[in-house]
Structure 1
């Protein structure tokens, strides 16, 4: 828990970040069997960083979730790229929702890295973004050199996937006011834990857009992504082969109250890949939002460190 001084500092910082804007914004063309779609991304920091950090968000979120982390990493001289996956944020939607799959997301992220013109990247992946990162890092010849997996594991049970699918299916399409939208996000994202009011508003403002035709705020998320969770491919998700093939330093973050992954699964991840270390945060569930000072510090120190020593199994 925060004491009074920490809470005040968080509120001041949150108010300042409310007005923070990326250095650049751009789009790249992705391609699915349905045709081309645009992938939007924000671009922070120096263009001459030869190993930019790719930050990929969770299932229904978007790249502006990483503004707080990006600010800290840019201050350390790093370039940070935060894409919106297709069907989210400012990116285009895929015509056939059957194509909202992990192979498609990996192909899209590969197109983005090709646009950047670099041969190496670091990766921060939250939930779905972590699954994509595992696959990208586990492939032979991977360009990923350092990997942060935020509250997800290489195995997700069919029960967990069904719960996620139900959550997506129950998403409201429209909100009358920004305050109504914020109330919704405070409820569904309650496992994020303690956030300043300004952080909740930041999450909300970048998750909706004003629709002139319907005179409502609309979610920046294609509800059809839920269809992917009804496909047989999602009976259970098993990426252990990719996980065991990863040969670069990995930091696994986990909310103490999260079931994605469980404590036992996090321990198994470390056992089955000795390049990985696990850090538990006490005051949240799925997922640590990477906005609080402590969470940002853990990620930043790992990404900037020259070694992986000292990153043992521990609590935040």
Structure 2
């Protein structure tokens, strides 16, 4: 599998992102290996809080949440999905599949031997992270679902998602920073916009970012519809505590929190929140409020 690696200098002097990089290698499923980057902050002996990003962001998304969670005594693991951030970027769009992303992130959990995990997942971080929870539930202590879904293609994804998918395929200049900017209420500075663009020096690096919207199961016979149905079958039987924390201004994910509250046994009786003045990228709009929500949930379910 041919892949590109973003030069390190692209990640120098990014605002509020003074974290040491960590790397491991995963099988690319074609006889080679891909380098995956992850942040690993806080005491190594502490139970991990796994923060998973989505499209088209990277671990930079969690830069304001990591310090308060670490200050509370927790370990934070924040990986960059393959194709994003400081992780390697396969150049062929066909190399990106939903199943491979689940496998690659599963390898991160297995290699680091993460257990007693608090999962914080948003956007594609949920589509992948929730599959991992269903695949290895004994590794997870609790789950915070933030502006994400686990679609099976049996229900329409809505006009807002259809518009986003069309835009992602047709826009001539796919700017990750501008996309994140558009998904926030508080808006980013120009330096922050540039930080989201840092992983992508040119279009050759954007195959994953372009392909991700096309991998969301949107019909019953999608290749990943049945694996997601099977994941839901597992999740419906799990007592793992589940909390939903959604941004009030996220039009694409509006109402999906109710699905998790209804179908996840561990969601019953939890203090679910809808955060005002927060869009799709609520980690940008209300990072401290979301961090405190995570910490409170850990305390309540310890």
TM-score, scaled relative to structure 2: 0.76
| CA distance in structure 2 between the aligned counterparts of 1:48 and 1:220, rounded to whole angstroms | 39
CA separation of 1:38 and 1:167: change in aligned 2, threshold 3 A: farther
Cα distance in 1 for partners of 2:188, 2:94 equals 37
Q: Does 1:138 align with 2:134?
A: yes
More strand by share: 1
Cα distance change on mapping 1:243 and 1:166 into 2, 3 Å: farther
* Structure 1 residues 215-255: Cα deviation after superposition (integer angstroms, max 9, x where no partner): xx547952355346556954366654354244311111211
Cα–Cα, structure 1 residues 42 and 301, in superposed 2: closer, same or farther, change >3 Å? same
C-alpha separation in 2, matches of 1:46 and 1:112 = 18
Q: Which among 292, 295, 298 is matched to residue 300 of structure 1? A: 295
Alignment RMSD: 3.2
Whether 1:267 aligns to 2:258 is: yes
CA distance in 2, matches of 1:165, 1:35: 31
Q: Separation in 2 of the partners of 1:223 and 1:103?
A: 17
Q: 1:254-297 deviations in whole A, cap 9, x for unaligned?
A: 1113233322x322321222312431012123231256332222
Alignment map for 1:224-303 (pairs within 5 Å): 224-227=208-211, 229-230=213-214, 233-235=217-219, 239=229, 240-263=232-255, 265-276=256-267, 277=270, 278-289=272-283, 292=286, 293-302=288-297
1 CA distance for matches of 2:143 and 2:239?
10
User: SS of the residue aligned with 1:202?
Assistant: helix
How far residue 31 of structure 1 moved from its aligned partner, in angstroms, is: 2.4
The gaps in structure 1 that reach 5 residues or longer are 1-16, 175-180, 211-216, 309-316
- Please report the TM-score for the alignment, with normalisation by the length of structure 1: 0.73
**Separation in structure 1 between the aligned mates of residue 216 and residue 22 of structure 2, nearest angstrom:** 37
Cα distance in 1 for partners of 2:208, 2:281 equals 23
Separation of aligned partners in 2, 1:110 and 1:188: 26
Unpaired stretches in structure 2, ≥5 consecutive residues: 1-13
